[in-house]
Chain A
Amino acid sequence: MPPEAPALDAILSEARAAIQHAATAQQLTEVRAGFLGRRGTLAAKLRNIGQLPPETRGAAGQAANEAKETIERLVEKRRRELEQAKLRHNLEERRMDVTLPGAAAARGHLHPVSRIEAEMCAFFNGLGYSVEDGPEVESDWNNFGALNFPDDHPARDLQDTFFVEGGERVLRTHTSPVQIRAMTRLEPPFRFIVPGRVYRHDHDPTHYPMFHQLEGFCVGADVSFGDLKGTLYAFARHLFGQQAKLRFRAHYFPFTEPSAEMDVRRGSGAWLEWGGCGMIHPTVLRNCEIDPSLWQGFAFGMALDRAAMIRFGIPNIQLLFEGDQRVLEQF
């Protein structure tokens, strides 16, 4: 029908302009509804087709459908354009100075000695060592007597002791009194470690009157000096790396025999004194009601502070205990 054709063309060109003019997705939706919606222009045309003579109805219907498809295509094209534009805009608008620092919450820090202690405990837990604990103010007997320190013997000078007023009480000079407490309670075989704080009257760049030890004890029917060496080798490699070397030197402790001091060396560095060790003295076993003819075992001890200083390259032990936030924030 000749009069109908221009009408569709007009609608199409009107739609084309309106679609192109739509600046947002919302506007585009409105434009589409204006033409294709139930009350839209094209819908009105389609409704009219039913009233056309049957012979023209087919062609008119087809033309209207084509027009509808064209509009849909144009809308879709425009929608993509708008999305692209929006994305481009977004990418552009969010441009920022990404070199500014990140905004993290303040970071907390465990003390280097706590870190080393946790690491050491984890290692020995893995080897089957339990953790034992005891008081820091100790009886003279637990700190010295039971550990085979004779009265009036220069061995007592090895550890400059803090004495507490009233009663035979000292600040423990080593964690070994816990050995007495635990071994008296436990039935062999057993193995345990004792991390803890100890006190000696000593003050210079490598000594502080308070420091931390970790001692370990392993008692069984045939636990030998060789086992002691093997255990400490494994530990040193764990703590200081596979290249770590150990050296054992004969030494004297009242509570072990044979006794040794151990030195550790990382790579080609100097030997650093690291701790003491030995086979538990039979008198100590007897003092804990363990029969030394049936049971034997080893003991070792080292300063955690020293390990922390070696590990982190801290030159002066005082830095660990002054509480300077600028120091402790580094670890």
Chain B
Amino acid sequence: MRVPLGWLASFIALPASQDELEAKLTSAGLEIQQVIQTGPDISALQVGRVLHCERHPNADRLFLCRVDLGGDEPLEIVCGASNVAAGQFVAVATHGALLPGGLRIKRSKIRGVVSNGMICSERELGLGDEHDGILVLDGAPTPGAKLSQVLNVMETVFDIEITPNRGDLVSMHGIAREVRALFGGALRLPECQPEETEREATSAMAVSIQAPQDCHRYLGRVLCGVQVAPSPDWLQRRLEAAGLRSINNAVDATNLVMLEFGQPLHAFDLDKLRSPLCVRRAEPGETLRTLDGEARALEPEDLLIADAAGPQALAGVMGGAASEVSDNSVNLLLESAHFAPACVRRSARRLGLSSDASYRFERGVDPDGQARALDRAARLITELAGGEVLRGHIASEGAPAKTPPLEIPLDAARLRRLLGVELSEQEIIRLLACVEVQARSAPAESGTRILCQPPRYRSDLLDFEDLAEEVARIYGYDAIPATLPSATPAGVSRPQRHATRDAVKASLVASGLIEVMTAPWISERELDDLRLPADDPARRSLKLQNPVHSGRPLLRTQLVSALLRVAEQNLNRQVEQVRLFECGRVFHACAAEPDALPEEPLQAVALLAGAGSPGLWRENHAPLFFRIKGIAERLLEELGQPLPFRAGSAPPFLHPAASGVFELGGQSAIAVGELHPECLAAFALDTPVALAVIGLDRLDAVRQPQQTYQVVSRHPSVQRDLALLFDRELPAAELLAAIRQQAGAILASVEVFDRYEGLGVPEGRVSLAFRLLFQHTERTLTDAEVTKALQRILQFLSKNFDAEQRLAGESAASQGGGG
């Protein structure tokens, strides 16, 4: 809410320091979001008194004035305005002063006479278009005083955030009460009572409430013979400073009073209404054209002000165009009502129609404030627009509004325990009194209780905690001593899946990947682009009612498409080697119960793309597929359990010939592969991409958090290399398995260290080189043992896999100390 400080100061004396006001309000929960300066900057100008005025000796249309500016000597100023005269109080800009328009005044010679400044017109002050004559100030201000103190045109405005529980603060009156709670002082409220005619208002209009739960009170006043016209400058400026647009004097008066007291008002053109008025719910099919010109289809949840002809206003939200006050209106009906917050909120939300009135009604207005605001507005309108006020209110009462309880017990010991601060009973009572909570001590069975009665406008004060907050707020949160909870529970726990997730993330980072986080919005099209069949779990998507991008209304069911998008963007930004991963939840609607909460499996996807330029020291020249596979293998190794790998059977977005899965219990735990060529095209990628899709929840079962020591042999190992020719279609994994099986327990490790086809290798064959390491845990192996094992392997491979020996290297390495 925008609070012009000058306006606020008319309700209560403000502290001298604006910083202190800002700090204390902010600390008490009225956060100053912005400090705004409004109006023309006339801070450099002064009040002057024209002592003497005569014709300029060298110019017919100019005057030479001697102006008193409070100094020892009056200044000589040349002035061209025909209305300047001795005795006037005027606005003066002296040498060096900056006018609101940006012009800096300089001493200058005008037709041979030195002029020491300028006497200003309204236009030069930024106050209006009047420039024929100078501005003559009212009254007798002190010469030399700051013009800004005399002309109330500059205003500092606090833009204050009002929390939704504090409907009582959405007015100058409310803010002034808060200032009084924090700084003390006395409130000054504007005069409200209007002069009334003999004629009764009820003779002109009647009202009845037919929805007593939705409308607690409906009051009206009738004004006759008003002259609707533009508002005077002060009123326009005041409304503009508070962020409202000026419309005409009648409507502006209702808005001004709303800002003063927080009570929304509405003015009808009385002559457009047919008595009686009725406050009721809308009937099916009814419509209303609101002030903004929109035709609104009404529903039975909407509360209306209707006359004999039909709907005239949407209660608490907006008036109707048909009974709008226009320049031709003469007789007015002013409305001041109390509508139920939830009722106003429902209509305002459904129609997407938030107004200053609905904002206040939703937050709850003072249940006792209708008559005062109504009277004040009637008085103000007759002051501004003439006319007369008919005697009395037209009135109808509904069910009583929700007000705070008459007596809330407050246990002082419990309050001390809750806040952690020692406060005496007297202190508590004093703090509560600051916010007009009447509190008194009353003896109780254990200790004493304080009985508290909140003011009726504080509908948010309902129980002990609400009062505790008031005590803390006025005492000052910063004054409460900082302590630590006394007892510490033994031991902490965390979800198992977090531990697995962190282990996976750590492993992927160790493999050189960079973590990204993407927004979880996807489209159906992306699922098509990933070639997912209709029965894939990733097709069981959830849709948002109000998505950020209408093109991506679904919650992600997989991480792949978002990561492909990110990869494409990075490649576009000329990142040469894209190496990313994301780890997060995906959302699958329950197959059995689509409207229940969805399944949220944790997934991780790692992605490599782009070859990168050959760097000076780049080491890993392995094909993309083997690099991503290596990342997956290392991950499984770090989790403590390698899983069997099976070629093929990977998801449909992977290349069928360059993909496979690490299986757990017959299901894929990690799928690795290069991206399917169709997906490359669909995601506008023109460089190979490899992916690992990691089902984190499945890996939970794999993880071996407890690792146990394996005996390290102290005896020398023997290394043997085998290079053999095989059919090129033969999977290396089968050969490795056969070697392990044939070698028996003395084989410590075997790996493929070279694969070659081409020159020197017959067509259809491939040369594979294996490095075998033999070692016994308890003794040194003999040459004969190793050779025997090697021969067994060779025989088996040539018999079962048609292996031919190509080259055989031999080297023995002695490792370990003891022997």
Contacts and interface: CB of A to CB of B under 8 A. Distances in A.
Contacts of B27: 247-250
Interface residues of B, number: 93
B361 to A, nearest CB: 10
Contacts of B481: 226, 229
Given A131-B494, A162-B546, A252-B163, A231 B485 contact: yes
Nearest to A164: B542
Contacts of A260: 477
A328 B480 contact: no
B420 A209 contact: no
Interface string A151-166: 1111101100011111
Contacts of B520: 210
Interface string A228-270: 0111011000000000000111111000011111000000000
Interface string B389-428: 0000000000000000000000000000111110000000
Nearest to B584: A197
A257 B468 contact: yes
Which of A190, A226, A281 has the most chain B CB atoms closer than 10 A to its own CB?
A: A226
A13 interface: no
A226 B419 contact: yes
A275 B581 CA distance: 29
Given A108-B509, A109-B515, A152 B485 contact: no
A128 B165 contact: no
A100 to B, nearest CB: 7
Contacts of A323: 516-518, 563, 566, 569-570, 580
Contact of A130 (B29, B31, B492, B509): B492
Contacts of A197: 584-585
Interface in B511-525: 511-520
A220 B418 contact: no
A180 B511 CA distance: 39
A137 interface: yes
Given A131-B494, A154-B362, A296-B417, A279 B569 contact: no
A137 B345 contact: no
Interface in A281-331: 281-282, 296, 320-326, 328-329
Interface in B581-608: 584-585, 587, 594-598, 600
A169 interface: yes
A328 B579 CA distance: 11
Contact of A224 (B31, B483, B548): B483
B543 interface: yes
A222 B363 CA distance: 33
Interface string B535-578: 00000001111111000000100000001001001100101011
Given A164-B543, A223-B485, A325-B580, A108 B510 contact: yes
A137 B597 contact: yes
Interface bin, chain A: 35 or more
A203 interface: yes
Contacts of A121: 494
Interface stretch (B58-66, B497-505, B775-783, B789-797): B497-505
Interface in A114-151: 114, 118, 121, 125, 127-133, 135-139, 151
B166 interface: yes
A324 B566 CA distance: 7
B710 interface: no
Nearest to B502: A118
Contacts of A234: 484
A223 B488 CA distance: 12
A7 interface: no
Nearest to A157: B164
A236 to B, nearest CB: 11
Interface in B454-512: 463-466, 468-469, 472-473, 477-478, 480-490, 492-495, 497-498, 502, 505, 508-512
A interface majority secondary structure: mixed
Interface string A18-46: 00000000000000000000000000000
Contacts of A321: 517-519
Contact of A222 (B417, B495, B502): B417
Nearest to B575: A325
A137 B515 contact: no
A322 B570 CA distance: 10
Given A103-B617, A105-B619, A125-B492, A252 B485 contact: no
B773 to A, nearest CB: 24
Nearest to B563: A323
Nearest to A281: B465
Interface string A89-112: 000000000001101011111110
B145 to A, nearest CB: 36
B477 A250 contact: yes
Contacts, number: 250
A250 B486 contact: no
Given A133-B495, A224-B420, A258 B468 contact: yes
B178 to A, nearest CB: 11
Nearest to B348: A154
A131 B619 CA distance: 41
Nearest to A202: B548
Contacts of A106: 512, 577, 579
B482 A226 contact: yes
B616 interface: yes
Contacts of B482: 226, 229-230, 233
Contact of A153 (B342, B421, B473, B597): B342
Contacts of B596: 167
Which of B342, B596, B597, B619 has the most chain A CB atoms closer than 10 A to its own CB?
A: B597
A137 B587 contact: yes
Contacts of A169: 542, 595, 597
B342 A165 contact: no
B346 interface: yes
B360 to A, nearest CB: 11
Nearest to A273: B31
B213 interface: no
A257 B163 contact: no
A172 B501 CA distance: 21
Given A106-B579, A109-B515, A249 B29 contact: yes
Contact of B542 (A137, A224, A320): A137
A197 to B, nearest CB: 7
Contacts of A229: 477, 480-483
A101 B345 contact: no
B477 A249 contact: yes
B738 interface: no
Which of B487, B515, B518 has the most chain A CB atoms closer than 10 A to its own CB?
A: B515
B558 to A, nearest CB: 15
28 contacts: A101-B616, A103-B619, A105-B620, A108-B509, A108-B513, A108-B579, A130-B493, A131-B492, A131-B493, A133-B497, A137-B587, A138-B597, A152-B342, A152-B346, A154-B362, A164-B544, A166-B595, A169-B542, A171-B555, A191-B489, A249-B29, A250-B477, A257-B469, A258-B469, A279-B465, A279-B468, A325-B578, A326-B575
Given A108-B508, A163-B544, A220-B487, 15 more contacts: A100-B616, A106-B512, A131-B493, A131-B494, A135-B600, A153-B164, A163-B546, A220-B486, A225-B421, A226-B481, A229-B482, A251-B31, A258-B469, A261-B31, A323-B566
What 8 pairs across the A-B complex have the smallest Cβ distances? A226-B420, A224-B420, A250-B29, A252-B163, A103-B617, A106-B512, A108-B509, A323-B566
Interface of B: 26-29, 31, 163-166, 341-342, 345-346, 362-363, 417-421, 463-466, 468-469, 472-473, 477-478, 480-490, 492-495, 497-498, 502, 505, 508-520, 542-548, 555, 563, 566, 569-570, 573, 575, 577-580, 584-585, 587, 594-598, 600, 616-617, 619-620
Interface of A: 100-101, 103, 105-111, 113-114, 118, 121, 125, 127-133, 135-139, 151-155, 157-158, 162-167, 169, 171, 189-191, 197, 201, 203, 208-210, 218, 220, 222-227, 229-231, 233-234, 247-252, 257-261, 279, 281-282, 296, 320-326, 328-329
